[in-house]
Amino acid sequence: QITLKESGPTLVKPTQTLTLTCSFSGFSLSTSGEAVGWIRQPPGKALEWLALIYWDDGKRYSPSLKSRLTITKDTSKNQVVLTMTNMDPVDTGTYYCAHRGGNYYYTFHIWGQGTMVTVSS
Amino acid sequence: QSALTQPPSASGSPGQSVTISCTGTSSDVGSYNYVSWYQQHPGKAPKLMIYEVSKRPSGVPDRFSGSKSGNTASLTVSGLQAEDEADYYCNSYVGSSNFYVFGTGTKVTVL
């Protein structure tokens, strides 16, 4: 059974860097084909894909946010970390990590519960 | 990359059917059979309902079906039930650039 859980600060100040951790179980990011993605959702608004990291350490970023994002993995800890620099109030929202792999190679099958991040001074 | 376009709302009475459209471009929806649909209840994480245009994950009722024609994908919910009232989002994998784009979301109301 695959599970994911996001963790990180609930409140960050403008211009600060946000660091979020996705801890997962039920699969290994060292297995060919596996990947973990990050998606966010401002309050009352639509989902927005942010980043994806593959088993082979390949990384993909949203073109509009690429300059601010870094995604890394720690295979031994079953964790994926997303950092976002220069946070702004418009970055307020719920941040989700999700599993992509297996029979669901091109889709996000299992999602974490999400973590709410507020950007405010 | 712009968001895929969905109608803001859709509704139907219990037992009826509702169809939601998801319009992209020839660079995303039109080029790849990697369209997914997610259901999201208030305060909850999205749940995968359809993947690769028309496939259903295990456990998803067959009342949910997906299709695609050209640059537009569609999700149909047949035999509407009260628990189907939720927000629905489409999503497309863009292979040429190896990233994803989500739709603008549709709120489905069961009258």
Per-position pLDDT tens, chain A of length 121: 999 999 999 999 999 999 999 999 999 999 999 999 999 999 999 999 999 999 999 999 999 999 999 999 999 999 999 999 999 999 999 999 999 988 888 999 999 999 999 999 9
**Would you call A62 and B51 a contact, using CB atoms and an 8 Å cutoff?**
no
Check if A47 contacts B (Cβ < 8 Å): yes
Q: What is the model's pLDDT at position A12?
A: 98
Among B33, B100, B107, the residue to mutate for chain A (most A Cβ within 10 A): B100
Mean predicted confidence (pLDDT) in B34-50: 97
Would you state the structure tokens that stand for residue A91, as one six-digit string?
């970055």
Q: What is the model's pLDDT at position A103?
A: 84
**Would you call A46 and B103 a contact, using CB atoms and an 8 Å cutoff?**
yes
**Would you call A46 and B98 a contact, using CB atoms and an 8 Å cutoff?**
no
In chain A, residues with a C-beta closer than 8 Å to the C-beta of B88 are none
> Which residue in chain B is spatially nearest to A61 when comparing CA positions?
B99
A70 CA to centre of own chain? 10
Dihedral of CA atoms A84, A88, A91, A93 in degrees, nearest 10, equals: 110
DSSP alpha helices (H): ranges in A27-117? none
**With 90 as the cut, is the pLDDT of residue B107 above it?**
yes
Q: What is the model's pLDDT at position A22?
A: 98
Check if A44 contacts B (Cβ < 8 Å): no
Q: What is the model's pLDDT at position A93?
A: 98
Q: What is the model's pLDDT at position B97?
A: 79
Q: What is the model's pLDDT at position A102?
A: 83
Would you state the structure tokens that stand for residue A111, as one six-digit string?
């999602």
Q: What is the rounded end-to-end Cα distance, in angstroms, of chain B?
A: 35
Mean predicted confidence (pLDDT) in B12-33: 95
Quote the CA–CA distance of A108 and A102 in Å, as a whole number: 11
**With 80 as the cut, is the pLDDT of residue B98 above it?**
no
Confidence of residue B95 (pLDDT cuts 50, 70, 90): confident
Are B48 and B38 in contact, with CB atoms under 8 Å apart?
yes
Which DSSP helix (H) or strand (E) runs through B64? strand B64-69
Number of A–B residue contacts, CB under 8 Å: 65
